[in-house]
Amino acid sequence: LATRHKPRPGTMALRFLAVLGFLSAAAAAAVLRPEPEVKPSDTDALAMFRHAADAHGILAGNWSTLDACAGRWTGVGCSSDGRRVTSLSLGSLDLRGSLDPLSHLTELRVLDLRGNRLNGTLDGLLLGVPNLKLLYLSRNDISGAVPEALARLLRLVRLDLADNSLRGPIPAAALANLTDLLTLRLQDNLLTGLLPDLATALPRLADFNASNNQLSGRVPDAVRAKFGLASFAGNAGLCGTVPPLPSCSFMPREPAPTSPSAPASSSQSVVPSNPAASSSSSSVASSSPALATPEGAAGKGGLSTGAIAGIAVGNGLFLFALLSLLVAYCCCSTGGGSETAKKRKRGGRVGLEDGDGGIFGHGKGMQPARPGSAGRWRSCFARRRRWSVVVASGQCTARRWATAAWWP
């Protein structure tokens, strides 16, 4: 008879530990495995945007169904199969809040939110809408810089970011990647730095406006010739070769867009074109290669020698004329008082004034003055009051002395 071999106790223990280790490893793998990210649908993304932006509940009545495309939500356009949202137009509805929830609309082609009060930055939105063709966000409160993520929107045709609070430079390298761009509106913001030569970088660009910003430096000739002076008006730091732009001190060729790793020594060797537009010359020179204007150099030199001499001569002539008038007036007043006193002592024969209030010898008991003397006195002093010059005063004094000598 065959005998059974009983397993050894050590072998049973090893088997049990092996099974236990396998179960532990499987449990750990199940716990550490990341769950797949569930992206919200287009309807969910629009619902999140409405809850954050529609403070007055303007869209609540229509945006209430379970599907945005099937329910034909206001301002929402969908694809032909009705599965994806391709356009969103909600202009002038006093919407507020961030644009980030709209970044989940990956098939969005048209986004028109002009005339609202939307805020935040554009970074999150532009990273999630690579198929965007038309982007209208003017007259909002969007802040931050014009993002470099614009370079991802290869199908973009029209971009309107006017009348916001955007800061920083115009990203020339990112915009140069948008070869189909026809419209670029950046006016009424707080943009700084150089005005890039977009007329050369984007040959199809037909509508460009960067007016009323804080740009500085030389205006590229191609931009001025293609888009006109109105496209960059309202930037005090710009200069150029054609009036009404102030002339630049020197005309280097516009630098090509460089990477951040490029040496900074080349940009620091340029003098700003409008020193008054910046807080300090060193900060402007380091931020943008602008050019200095002759007005700044003239302001440091002060007035010329000829101007100072002319001012001194004019002041001297004015003081001399003023002193001459004062001397003539004093002489006339003093001479008139003494003559009047002498005539009163002589019995009023001349008749300037008597005790009864008579004038020019017409008082009671007085001999009349010589005919024509009163008229001469009146006309003399009338001329002095009318002209108020030294010549009239001299003539008046001479006639008074002649009259006193003629009529004892």
Structural contact between residues 212 and 188, judged by C-beta atoms closer than 8 angstroms: yes
> Residue 5 carries which DSSP code?
P
What DSSP designation does 353 have? Answer: B
Mean pLDDT of the chain: 75
Residue 216, beta-bridge partner list:
237
Backbone angles phi, psi at 153, to 5 degrees: -90, 75
- In whole angstroms, give the CA distance from residue 358 to residue 345: 16
| Residue 354, pLDDT score | 45
Give the pLDDT band (50/70/90) at residue 224.
very high
Which of 24, 61, 45, 67 shows the shortest CA–CA distance to 111? Answer: 45
What burial class does residue 405 get, using C-beta atoms within 10 Å of its C-beta: 0-12 exposed, 13-18 middle, 19+ buried?
A: exposed
Query: How confident is the model at residue 16, as a pLDDT?
Result: 66
- Flag whether pLDDT at 335 surpasses 80: no
Distance CA 263, CA 364 (A): 107
Give the E-state strand segments of 225-356 in sequence order: 237-239
> Domains of the chain, with CATH numbers?
42-253 (3.80.10.10), 306-406 (no CATH)
CB 107 within 8 A of CB 131: yes
Whole-Å CA distances, 248 to 126, 160, 206? 37, 31, 27
**Separation of alpha carbons 190 and 170, rounded Å:** 11
Going by the DSSP 8-state scheme, the letter that residue 359 receives in this structure is: B
Cα separation, 132 vs 106, whole angstroms: 9
Q: Which amino acid is at 142?
A: I
- pLDDT band, residue 222 (cuts 50/70/90): very high
- Given strand 207-209, what is the order of strands in its sheet? 76-78, 85-89, 110-112, 134-136, 158-160, 183-185, 207-209
At residue 104, the pLDDT reads 95
Task: Quote the CA–CA distance of 366 and 359 in Å, as a whole number.
Answer: 10
- Token pair in block for residue 207: 């509508």
CB 273 within 8 A of CB 287: no
- What tokens does 323 get? 């002193």
Is residue 333 predicted with pLDDT exceeding 80?
A: no
Q: Which range, 123-137, 231-245, 394-408, has the best average confidence (pLDDT)?
A: 123-137
Q: Residue 207: helix, strand or coil by DSSP?
A: strand
Q: Is the pTM of this model over 0.75?
A: no
In which band, very low, low, confident or very high, does the pLDDT at 244 lie, cut at 50, 70 and 90? Answer: confident
Closest C-alpha among 378, 373, 352 to residue 363: 352
89 DSSP β-pair partners: 112
Tell me the pLDDT tens digit for each residue of 88-106: 999 999 999 999 999 999 9
DSSP category for residue 102: G
Q: Distance (Å, rounded) from C-alpha 230 to C-alpha 215?
A: 14
Structure-model confidence comparison of residues 330 and 269, the more confident one: 330
**pLDDT tens digit sequence for 299-331:** 444 667 777 887 888 888 888 888 888 877 777
Q: Does residue 109 carry a pLDDT above 50? A: yes
CA angle 131, 153, 122 (to 5 degrees): 100
Percentages (nearest 5) of helix, strand, coil residues in the chain? 40, 15, 45
| Per-residue pLDDT tens digits for 72-90 | 999 999 999 999 999 999 9
pLDDT at 209 over 70: yes
Give the pair of three-digit tokens for residue 132. 């965007």
Strand partners, 97: 118
Calculate mean pLDDT across residues 129-133. 96
How far from each other are the two terminal CA atoms of the chain, in whole angstroms? Answer: 187
- What percentage of the chain exceeds 90 in pLDDT? 49
Return the closest-CA partner of residue 237 out of 275, 274, 284. 274
